[in-house]
Amino acid sequence: MDPRELLREIVAKLTETPAEQIGPDFPLHSHGLESSGRRAALAAAIRRKIVGIDHVPDSARTFGELEQAVFSPGTPMTLPAPAASRQSAPPSCDKDDHSVYCGLDIENIADLPEAPDYREHEFYQTMFTSEEIAYCIAQENPRMHFAARWCAKEALVKCDPAFRAEKLSSIEVVRQDTGAVFLRHHASGTARKLAHGVSLTHTNSIAAACVVLAPSIPCGSGAPLKEVKPADEFGCATIGIQYQQGLKDLAPGHPISIFLMNEVYLYGAGGISKIIYEILLSMGKQVKGIFDDDPPNAKFRNLPVRPGIGLMGKDNFPPLDAPVVISVGNNARRAEIARMLNAQYGTAIHTSVLVSPTVVVGPGTIILHGSIVQAGTRLGAHVLINTGASIDHDCTVGDYAHVSSRATLCGHVEVGEGSDIGAGAVVIQCVRVGKWCRVGAGAVVLHDVPDYTTVVGNPARVLKRSIPTPEAPQRPTQNGN
């Protein structure tokens, strides 16, 4: 068949249009070729079926423009030579650059071509590795999983310009046993794990992926790390927007603090750890190990519980190669552990939580199921927001504080360091609860509460005050695990 007629047949098949209706003015974007997936399928079919064609532009608006670009006199009609291997690099940036690079791609699953055998189809052979194809065809809906991986590759190219010249089949999305995924780049006969965090999602009709890269990050005592830890050691890059010293270091306008390492440590093996463990799994994290200063069992979820820093001491406690989430309900104990550890801290935020994009979330903070945190609120370091809590706009919750289940903070409320707001309690707008206070369950707080004070009842009344001493500066103490 004449190559120009073969091109017409390829376009006809992909657009489901009779070939005789495809003329020079035939619009490509309005006939199913507007998505990147369909354009890639078109390019793959042209390269596979028309000998010697390597350059297939994705900017052609009509069939005439496509035909001219493919068969232009300046286009050599010889088989393309194998592409030279290229070494990818992070986006160009200063070594002290704290920028975060992000790429996002969304695709209609139906835009990827159907095939009786995906292993033999030119699009899937061109765009995916054999391992990716094997995984996807083993699933109930292969195109759904192909589409998510396609989005990840497109998102990587948007995130990192160094990959624009790479063949997409050189980029592999690798799924781990935990369900978390990472990106691997193949070049010169070798494969290496990339330092780009990646997340995939899909419905029955749409797939999406996000890729993030942080060349260097501020972390730990306000000092920036010199560079991201190697991807082959930790899985993928860590993003640490906030500082470990706590709320006093957080500036308004900072985005929510997140971490993208696939692995994380839990410190604490008590009751609340069961909840946080499941949240971390739902976030795609792998719990690498668990520490506790009073190990209740030899194992926690089939993981051995190791002695914590309280048992081993600072000098004997090993350095940690992944972020830590302190899963301890006692505020004073959580603060003590955080002050002893020299570690990076991750957050644990359940997927059902509603958090405004203007909220500041400090390192180590935990937000459990169904909670709501409204615009302008600032959460300090190692804060615990329990199930179904509601925090309205412009509130401030200090380091190590706990807002219990179903508690409500109205607008412009301030909760001091280490304070505990009891289950179902209500603090009305513009009230300040001091540091290391306790608000009893169901209490309704109408007036400011001084530091180190316990209040109960409706309306709340003072039950007792505790005077801090150098030996016990964090009174009143609390039960908890």
Per-residue model confidence (pLDDT) at position 238: 30
107 with 48, same domain?
A: no
Query: For residues 158 and 168, is the Cβ–Cβ distance under 8 A?
Result: no
Model confidence at 481, pLDDT cuts 50, 70, 90, reads very low
Question: Which one is catalytic: 254, 393, 402, 447?
Answer: 393
Given 31, 54, 70, the domain boundary residue is 70
- Quote the number of domains for the chain: 3
Amino acid at 118: Y
182 with 259, same domain?
A: no
Q: What is the pLDDT of residues 204-217, one digit of tens each?
A: 888 899 998 865 43
Is the pLDDT score of 233 beyond 80?
A: no
460 with 389, same domain?
A: yes
Share of the chain above pLDDT 70, in %: 73
Is the pLDDT score of 279 beyond 70?
A: yes
Given 13, 48, 70, the domain boundary residue is 70
281 with 391, same domain?
A: yes
For the chain, how long is the longest CA-to-CA vector?
Answer: 93
Known catalytic residue at 402: no
Strand order in the sheet with 299-300: 299-300, 303-307, 286-292, 263-267, 324-326
Is residue 178 situated within a structural domain? yes
**Token pair of 368, please?**
């459990």
Provide DSSP, 316-372: TSPP-SS-EEE----HHHHHHHHHH----B--EE-TT-EE-TT-EE-TT-EE-TT-E
Is the pLDDT score of 441 beyond 50?
A: yes
Residue 81: CB atoms within 10 A of its CB come to 7
Query: For residues 178 and 281, is the Cβ–Cβ distance under 8 A?
Result: yes
By DSSP bridging, strand 181-187 and strand 171-175 are antiparallel
Q: Rounded to whole angstroms, how far apart are CA atoms 390 and 438?
A: 18
Is residue 91 situated within a structural domain? no
Is the pLDDT score of 368 beyond 90?
A: yes
Is residue 236 situated within a structural domain? no
Query: For residues 103 and 157, is the Cβ–Cβ distance under 8 A?
Result: yes
208 with 336, same domain?
A: no
Is residue 234 situated within a structural domain? no
Given 213, 235, 269, the domain boundary residue is 213
Is the pLDDT score of 124 beyond 80?
A: yes
Is residue 240 situated within a structural domain? no
352 with 403, same domain?
A: yes
Query: For residues 190 and 118, is the Cβ–Cβ distance under 8 A?
Result: no
Output the CA torsion 134→136→139→143 (10° steps).
Answer: -140
Q: What is the pLDDT of residues 35-76, one digit of tens each?
A: 666 666 676 666 666 656 555 656 677 888 877 777 764 444
Query: Which range, of 69-78, 335-344, 361-370, averages the lowest pLDDT?
Result: 69-78
Is residue 417 situated within a structural domain? yes
53 with 127, same domain?
A: no
270 with 313, same domain?
A: yes
The alpha carbon of residue 201 and the mean position of all alpha carbons in its chain are separated, in whole angstroms, by 11
115 with 33, same domain?
A: no
56 with 168, same domain?
A: no
171 with 262, same domain?
A: no
Query: For residues 283 and 264, is the Cβ–Cβ distance under 8 A?
Result: no
Q: Rounded to whole angstroms, how far apart are CA atoms 57 and 122?
A: 17
The CATH number given to whatever domain includes residue 379 is 2.160.10.10
Amino acid at 87: Q
Per-residue model confidence (pLDDT) at position 351: 83
Could you give the 3-state DSSP secondary structure of residue 64? Answer: helix
- β-partners of residue 61 are none
Model confidence at 383, pLDDT cuts 50, 70, 90, reads very high
Is residue 247 situated within a structural domain? no
Expressed as residue numbers, the domain containing 204 is 101-213
Q: Rounded to whole angstroms, how far apart are CA atoms 246 and 311?
A: 25
Q: Rounded to whole angstroms, how far apart are CA atoms 346 and 367?
A: 12
Q: Rounded to whole angstroms, how far apart are CA atoms 29 and 222?
A: 50
In the numeric block, the tokens 């993003």 are attached to: 239
Q: Report the run of H or E that residue 36 belongs to, with start and end.
A: helix 36-49
Query: For residues 194 and 236, is the Cβ–Cβ distance under 8 A?
Result: yes
Average pLDDT over residues 307-320: 83
311 with 381, same domain?
A: yes
Query: Which range, of 51-65, 135-149, 386-400, 424-438, averages the lowest pLDDT?
Result: 51-65
Q: Rounded to whole angstroms, how far apart are CA atoms 199 and 435?
A: 38
The CATH number given to whatever domain includes residue 191 is 3.90.470.20
Percent composition of the chain: helix, strand, coil (DSSP 3-state, to 5): 25, 25, 55
Is residue 54 situated within a structural domain? yes
